[in-house]
Structure 1
Amino acid sequence: MKTLNYQVLKESGYTGYVLEEGPEKVLQFGEGNFLRAFADCWFDLANERVGWNGKCVLVQPIPQGLAKEINAQQGLYTLCLRGREDGQSVDRRRVISAVSRCLNPYEGEDYQAMLEVAVSPELEYIVSNTTEAGIVYDPACKLEDQPPASFPAKLTQVLYRRWQAGQPGLVILSCELIDNNGAILRDCVERHAAQWGLEAAFLGWLEGCTFCSTLVDRIVPGRIRDRAEQAELEAELGYADPLLDVGEVFGVWVIQGPEWLADKLPFRAAGLNCPVVPDVTPYKHRKVRILNGGHTGFVPGAYLAGFDIVRDCMAHPVVRGFLEQMLYREIIPTLELDRAELEQFARAVEDRFDNPFVNHALLSICLNTVSKWRARNLPSLLAYQGQTGQLPPCLTMSLAAAIQFYCGHMEELTDQGLVCRRSDGTAYTVSDDRWVLEFCWAHRGDSAGELVRAILSHEQMWGMDLTAVDGLTAAVTADLEKIRADGVLAAYAACLEARP
């Protein structure tokens, strides 16, 4: 079977949108699965829906990558978006044609080609996703390196060359999963400029570049791991595609930037979920507390109740009811954004948890539950109590379930973690920081009340002494005793019976 390129695509009988030629408007650092399933997909949709007429030049940020494979397919690849949308199963396929080529600046003439793109009058945007470790200032990088090792140093070279050519500033969209990614990237560039002794006029020109902190949200498994399924799909498509990418249907790109950027970017006009806002913080809280907090809030208990994957939990009325009460009655009221917008996001989260194409293992979500619960759920619990003077039943129960997950039936502490056993006899290993596991193991003989007090008073775990929260110790102790006596499902159901 022939591998995908423009000629093979024509021969396959594909009838979808394709843009074979167009100006290169985006220089993108990162050619991996996420950006190809997210940013490049959005630029491709903008080409189709609003005639944006732009191509993306990808840059391989490290010596090993996909440049050869992408160029062999002339930038084309198939994207499968799978999941649930408005409660309905969705499996969409699309050939992405927004990529023109991929450069590997570590080989041949591609470093110079990258700088040639930098000075192009057609260039408007720089997009990056170089992993959380990608935005770091590395003083070992030099102006004369071809290329320098770090992404910020490469970007500084690109922007400096553009300034030397007399071209205007660019919009830089950082997608790395760190807080204030755009601001940190700007700081790295300015530090390199100072280290390299670049002209003051260049620093002034940088003020005309818009460094945007962004929040991205789309789960991208990246590939079909079942070879038989991949072969069946390629037979249906009529071509082989080693670059085939898979992502969930849901996607949102929140961009912190000036008002004019909302009109300049082609995404809003294309009907894509891309708010341009003065501050991404409320949207980060929305994601962390609803999506991530939803997972951490119900999953440890659901695992103890005998469930193994997220989708199966969504089919059980008690577990789903527990999640929904936690989201809509306890978490959403504590957040800053419009209630209707938050509820719409929560409904999308439920669809994402119910994705029929993803077997999301509960045990993988339970990794490092202590730090996750502190970051994702504790702020909601404290905010709810601050607003109402009461403890949120489901969030309080979720803390008790997390304690039971760690300390319920401990058998041994090994180099791999704390070996426990759930009520159906299944052994599992709790993975967390060593000091957390050793603390739990040391308290294996405690009563429920003693254990709860020891854990809640551990300031290193929570950043505060939670026994100081009015009524929390007694409530978590009662919940833990309920779990141990009647099981998690009965305990979750009791929260629903107690709802106001």
Structure 2
Amino acid sequence: MKNLNRKNLGLEKLQPIKVIQFGEGNFLRAFVDYAFQRLNKEVDLNAGIAIVQPLKEGMINMINNQDGLYTLFMNGIKKGEKIQDIELISNIVKSINPYTDFADYLALAREEELQFIVSNTTEAGIEFIESDTPDMQPPVSFPAKLTVLLYERFKHFNGNASKGLTIIPCELIDYNSETLKKYILQYCDLWKLEDSFKTWVSEACTYHSTLVDRIVPGYPRAEIEEYNSKLDYQDNLIVAAEPFFLWAIEGGDDLKQKLPFHKTDLNVKIVDDIRPYKMIKVRILNGAHTAMVPISLLYGNKLVMETVNGDFTGKFVNGVINEISGTLDMDKNEILAYTEEVMDRFKNPFIKHALADIALNSISKFKVRVLPSLLGHYNANKTVPTNLTFSLACLIQFYKGTWNNEALPVKDTPELVEAFKNAWQLGSLDLIVNTILANTEFWGEDLTKINGLSEAIIVALNEIEANGIEKGFNNFSSQF
């Protein structure tokens, strides 16, 4: 079987770089890169993508080994029939690790036809790190890296307003583009960059908040032989995703002209306000995903599908969704229709979505995706919600790092992991729980001020330790 590269497939002609993408993970490759490929094929956008690896460790070498090529499998059920669409993604024309090739990274800013910046650096990626400086190669935070890149472009093109960029972040935080722009301007001030650059950043560049929705399990490790049997080349970067696709982007007619998705049948909505789309998606789909991870991993499951199909864990997830739904001020029929669709997507037999993969940065995800529902339930009812509270207890248990003498797939920043480790060494469960809940770096507020929450978490953790997950939850739910 031949290797996957451009020469072997006759794809040596490269498109001009019009997109810089911060992030090389499964989601962006199954979502943004696929979307731009559709534009290339259907409206001749002729947009090549340059990928920037946002962290020191990443997949750039693997991507370069295949000349940016990989195969996307879109698997699902449509009208009761199993479907599988296969597409070779070919629009990644350059991949750069700025930690080893910083000059190549800066050179991207000087690309004549560059128009777009897209990103997905997880919820933890859009942050302001005051210790970042403009002479670091590169700075640590994504906003600082982007500021350096924009400044290079500003200088190279002498502040030409026509060379401003369309910036479309895909991180799942509220007002993602506004937050990113705010941090860029903060770096302008911190680094004492000229006012003319600040004006260019604010007026020549445009910022568009987004909502992204597609379940992407990623590399189908367990079924890789079956997937490779459908190809006539060896692909080490196969990505599996569901067919469902929604990209809501805030923008007007100018953006529609730049990104003419309306000339395709891809579900991209360029709208004045993405908040209704974002609220229901982040709270129900992402919230249920995040809430199920710790309890299901501790229970012994490995996949989302077995979680929602399991007698105990499936009922628990339904309970989570019911609690979340009760906090949403939206049409109840619309919520019901969406939740039914979400459960069908979770049960997609093609999607082997590993819980361990979703566990990345679970604390910041819980803060954004789940905590608002927990607090919304408390504010409305003056009681803590049973399932969401037990999920939080399981999350704290999960971040202990071990369960039944086995290591757990905790994936987070070293500082956060160390903070949980130190908290778990305090001995007293009361002290452990109150230290963790009071940490505003984790949650954005002091959760010990929520009446009854600390006590409920302590009861839940005691039940988990004494009786395991299922019996522990049943005992806990009889009290809360």
TM-score normalised by length of structure 2: 0.70
When residues 458 and 429 of structure 1 are mapped into structure 2, their CA distance, relative to the original with a 3 A threshold, is closer
Deviations 1:19-68, CA, capped at 9 Å, x for gaps: 9665543233444444222211111122334x142222304347877667
Instruction: Kindly provide the CA deviation profile for residues 123-182 of structure 1, in whole angstroms up to 9, marking residues without a partner as x.
Output: 43222345644765665324xx89878343123212443454563432111234555443
SS at match of 1:334: coil
CA distance in 2, matches of 1:41, 1:28: 13
Q: Is the 8 A contact 2:303 2:353 kept in 1?
A: yes
2:4 alignment counterpart: 4
Q: How has the CA–CA distance of structure 1 residues 370 and 379 changed in structure 2, closer, same or farther, with 3 Å as cutoff?
A: same
Shift of 1:217: 4.3
- Quick one: distance in 2 between partners of 1:362 and 1:76? 27
Q: Deviations over 1:229-277 (max 9, x none)?
A: 5455445321223443344444443434456535642335433343445
> Is the counterpart of residue 211 in structure 1 residue 207 in structure 2?
yes
Q: What amino acid does structure 1 have at the position aligned with 2:38? A: L
CA distance in 2, matches of 1:428, 1:64: 22
Distance in 2, matches of 1:230 and 1:60, equals 27
- What is the match of residue 14 of structure 1? none
Conserved? CA contact 1:282–1:336, under 8 Å: no
Asked if the contact 1:319/1:492 (under 8 Å) is kept, the reply is: no
The 1:342–1:273 alpha-carbon spacing in structure 2 relative to 1, beyond 3 Å, is farther
What pairs up with 1:71-82 in 2 under 5 angstroms? 73=66, 75-82=68-75
**Residue number in structure 1 paired with 2:118:** 127
1:76 shift after superposition:
3.2
CA contact (8 A) 1:37 1:247 kept: yes
Which residue in 1 is equivalent to 2:389?
Answer: 399
The percent of aligned pairs where both chains have the same amino acid is 33
Does structure 1 residue 294 correspond to structure 2 residue 268?
no
How far does residue 398 in structure 1 lie from its aligned partner after superposition? Answer: 4.9
Match of 1:442 in 2: 428
The alpha-carbon deviation at position 310 of structure 1 amounts to: 3.1
Counterpart-to-counterpart distance in 1, 2:364 and 2:110: 45
CA distance in structure 1 between the partners assigned to 2:61 and 2:231 by the alignment:
22
Cα distance, 1:294 vs structure 2: 2.0
Q: Distance in 1 between matches of 2:39 and 2:22?
A: 20
Q: Report deviation, 1:278.
A: 5.0
- Contact 1:318 1:489 survives alignment (8 Å): no
Distance in structure 2 (CA, Å) of the matches to 1:92 and 1:162 = 42
Compared with structure 1, are the counterparts of its residues 255 and 3 closer, same or farther at alpha carbon in structure 2 (3 Å cutoff)?
Answer: same
Aligned equivalents of 2:325, 2:89: Cα separation in 1: 36
Distance 1:295 1:19, change over 3 A: same
Alignment of 1:377-392 (within 5 A): 377-384=370-377, 386-387=379-380, 389=381
CA distance in 2, matches of 1:463, 1:255: 33
* Separation in structure 2 between the aligned mates of residue 456 and residue 221 of structure 1, nearest angstrom: 35
- Higher mean displacement: 84-93 or 203-212: 84-93
The aligned amino acid for 1:225 is R
Q: CA, structure 1 residues 335+87, in 2 after alignment: closer, same or farther (shift >3 Å)?
A: farther
In structure 1, the residue matched to 2:443 is: none
- SS of aligned partner of 2:2: coil
Q: What residue identity is the alignment partner of 1:76?
A: L
The equivalent residue for 1:157 is 152
Kept in 2, the 8 Å contact 1:82–1:92? The answer is yes
Show the 5 A alignment for 1:269-308: 269-277=263-271, 283-295=277-289, 297=291, 307=301
Partner of 2:45: 53
Mark the CA change 1:311 to 1:215 in structure 2 (over 3 Å): closer, same or farther: same
What corresponds to 1:410 in structure 2? none
The CA distance in 2 between the partners of 1:479 and 1:249, in whole Å, is 39
Relative to the length of structure 1, the TM-score reads 0.68
1:3-82, aligned counterparts within 5 Å? 3-5=3-5, 8-9=8-9, 24-49=17-42, 51-61=43-53, 73=66, 75-82=68-75
User: Over alpha carbons, which structure has the higher Rg?
Assistant: 1
- For structure 1, list consecutive stretches of 5 or more residues without a partner in the other structure: 11-17, 408-415, 444-450
> How far has the Cα of 1:401 moved from its partner?
7.0
2:314 is equivalent to residue 320 of structure 1:
yes
Whole-angstrom CA distance in 2 between matches of 1:319 and 1:251: 26
Could you say what secondary structure the match of 1:314 adopts? helix
Cα pair 1:223 1:246 within 8 Å, conserved:
yes
Tell me if the contact between 2:212 and 2:246 (Cα under 8 Å) persists in the aligned partners: yes
Q: Is the 8 A contact 2:290 2:358 kept in 1?
A: yes
* Among 108, 113, 126, the residue aligned to 1:114: 108
1:48 partner SS: helix
Q: 1:84 to 1:191 in 2, by over 3 A?
A: same
Distance 1:181 1:346 in 2: 25
- Which amino acid in structure 2 is aligned with residue 205 of structure 1? W
Q: Distance in 1 between matches of 2:263 and 2:475?
A: 45
Deviates more, 1:107-116 or 1:51-60: 107-116
135 and 277 in structure 1: CA distance in 2 versus 1, 3 angstrom threshold: farther
- The answer to whether structure 1 residue 354 and structure 2 residue 344 are counterparts is no
Distance across 2 between alignment mates of 1:362 and 1:58: 30
Aligned residue number for residue 442 of structure 2: none
Alignment of 1:241 onto 2:225: no
1:382 Cα offset (Å): 4.3
Match of 2:438, as an amino acid?
Answer: Q
Per-residue CA deviation, residues 391-434 of structure 1 (Å, 9 max, x unaligned), is: 68xx4145357658978xxxxxxxx948665xxxx978797724
Work out the number of aligned pairs and report it. 455
- Write the deviation string for residues 363-400 of structure 1: whole angstroms up to 9, x where unpaired: 7878998887676545434434655x5868xx414535
SS in 1 for 2:264: coil
1:161-180 paired onto structure 2 within 5 Å: 161-165=156-160, 167-176=162-171, 180=175
Q: 1:194-240: per-residue Cα shift (whole Å, max 9, x none)?
A: 567665444333313112233444454543435xx545544532122
DSSP 3-state at the match of 2:261: coil
User: For residues 369 and 242 of structure 1, do their structure 2 counterparts lie closer, same or farther at Cα, with a shift above 3 Å needed?
Assistant: closer
AA at the equivalent of 1:399: T
What residue identity is the alignment partner of 2:115?
A: E
Displacement of 1:331 after TM fit? Answer: 1.7
